[in-house]
Amino acid sequence: MESIPYGRQNITPADIEAVVAVLRSDFLTQGPVVPAFERAVADRVDARHAVALNSATSALHAACLAMGLKAGDMLWTSPISFVASANCALYCGARVDFVDIDRETFNLCPEALARKLEQAEDTSSLPKVVVVVHMTGQPCNLSAIHALSRRYGFRIIEDASHAIGARYRERPIGNCEFSDAVVFSFHPVKIITTGEGGMVLTNDPEIARKVALFRSHGITRDAQRMVHQPDGPWYYEQLELGYNYRMTDIQAALGLSQLQRLDESVEARHRLAERYDELLAGLPVSVPVQRSEGRSAFHLYVVRLQLERIDRSRREVFEAMRADDIGVNVHYIPIYAQPYHERMGVRRADFPQAEAYYREAISIPMFPTLSSAQQDRVVRSLRNALAP
């Protein structure tokens, strides 16, 4: 039987034509398509500025640099995320710490954040930046976290790698109403893809300018920003230690074409989620709870095994489904449990919700072209795995 992955890109003939058109054009990179893609995403999500980069990982790094994160500073994030949400702090020489998750949404818990901030204030170890993650595509409780940022003076980056196309309080994720910057990923398993790619959205022109500077070697061609008088028309200046984090026009063309189907593909994900909810009712698993103030992009569909009701471990259920060629996955191993991060001495016992989540979670296949027949196969496999 063919195997069903947990996520997969959807490439149409129009996508391919858009990419080929760039390949036939004068510019493969640094041409007109990257700015067009940036403008289109900014308009789509109601943000003032957009800067495209070669990955969300680079975007997180550049956003942290633009906020002045450096040695001696602290960044907090959710332990239930991809490692990139935390590594951006370490790239800047800053330290990272974690805030436990909310039981139902798997997002950074505002109450846990409030408690930790109170303690950090007493020991003068407040974070400079908090990276919140819209886990699985479901928006965090942004207004509560934003209120805390006002009180304690930290900056907020939304890691919205799962959440382009999601909405919070009737507005698109990406509008930066409750944050300083939002980051999207365009990796092929995400909602829309550019092959590899990412973007920083912000309403702050200084953050946008700095991210653009860090994206391309710290070099400017803007005479207004230069330290010296230009020697001539060839002249440019390096003002910061930047990187080559640029997106190509080939990638941007794919992204621009994919963006046309964003609503359609989030709709398809919702239909699949509703169907999973129905098919899984009555099984000893918890299906994802949806909060009314947000609308998820449903990047992932995570079930939690009710381990007290079954005599199978998560590993046994996982392996049984893999044996049926169902591409189940676990998102994510708590970041603090990774050997590289373990050295920093985080105590697992401080994160009871993340620990419980990690014992129980399985991501089952979720992508717009998943057919009903395939979905039935996933559910059959899960049912058999739970009660063999």
Ligand X SMILES: *Cc1c(COP(=O)(O)O)cnc(C)c1O
* Positions in the binding site for ligand X (CB under 6 A): 55-57, 81-82, 84-85, 133, 159, 161-162, 185, 187, 198
The number of C-alpha atoms within 13 Å of 184 and in the hemisphere containing its C-beta is 35
Instruction: Quote the least distance from Cβ 231 to ligand X, whole Å.
Output: 38
Q: What is the Cα–Cα distance from 347 to 114, expressed in whole angstroms?
A: 19
Strand partners, 108: 101
Instruction: Quote the least distance from Cβ 157 to ligand X, whole Å.
Output: 11
194 or 257: whose CB is closer to ligand X?
194
Assign 346 to helix, strand or coil. coil
Instruction: Quote the least distance from Cβ 53 to ligand X, whole Å.
Output: 9
Instruction: Quote the least distance from Cβ 4 to ligand X, whole Å.
Output: 20
Instruction: Quote the least distance from Cβ 79 to ligand X, whole Å.
Output: 12
- 16 neighbors 234 (Cβ within 8 angstroms): no
183 or 207: whose CB is closer to ligand X?
183
Q: What is the Cα–Cα distance from 349 to 121, expressed in whole angstroms?
A: 22
269 or 377: whose CB is closer to ligand X?
269
Chain position carrying tokens 């049984």: 320
162 or 261: whose CB is closer to ligand X?
162
Please count the other Cβ atoms lying within 10 Å of the Cβ belonging to residue 283. 18
Cβ contacts of residue 200 below 8 Å, gap of 6+?
A: 50, 51, 53, 59, 62, 63, 66, 181, 182, 183, 207, 208, 211
82 or 318: whose CB is closer to ligand X?
82
